[in-house]
Amino acid sequence: MRRVVAPGTRSGGAESASERRARAILERVRAVPEGFVRTYGDISPGAPRLAGSVLAGCDDPSLPWHRIVRADGSLAKGERQRRRLHREGVPFRGPRVDMRVARMLLFGEEPMRGDPPAPGEEPATGDPLASGEEPAPGDPPASGEEPA
């Protein structure tokens, strides 16, 4: 098993770009509170497989690796991960984490495309007219409409 190199341990003490990325990923994992989850893409935007590689190579027993799940709520580590999440009170819908409830969003983040609406929420359509709302002044015309 590979081991993630501690930052600043290369010869000369300089931290490589790879080490900085790994450190940032591990910091994001540690920031996920008990009872919540994040996705691999959340902790490594644009490179979710890198997040998986960093987690697989880290042997720190205090790292809450089990709080990182696939975007669809499925678990990379199966029953072992499920038991840990269940003990923390993470809700499930069948075999998957209920991402509508358990996914931790940071300030300004939007739910993932394809996330079903939370209970009591209207589905997002991307078209303000579909929900009966009037477009705001200056909004671009809906597709197929002529500008005013």
- Report how far residue 18's alpha carbon sits from residue 114's, in angstroms, rounded to the nearest whole number: 31
- Report how far residue 135's alpha carbon sits from residue 17's, in angstroms, rounded to the nearest whole number: 45
Q: What is the pLDDT of residue 125?
A: 45
Percent of the chain predicted with pLDDT > 70: 63
Q: Residues of the chain whose pLDDT is less than 70? A: 1-12, 107-148
Maximum separation of any 2 CA atoms in the chain, in Å: 65
Q: What is the pLDDT of residue 132?
A: 46
Structural domains of the chain sorted by starting position, each given as residue range(s) with its CATH number in brackets = 16-107 (1.10.10.10)
DSSP-assigned beta bridge partners for residue 39: 69
Tens-digit pLDDT profile for residues 33-50 = 999 999 999 999 999 999
Q: What is the pLDDT of residue 12?
A: 58
DSSP H or E run through 97 = strand 96-97
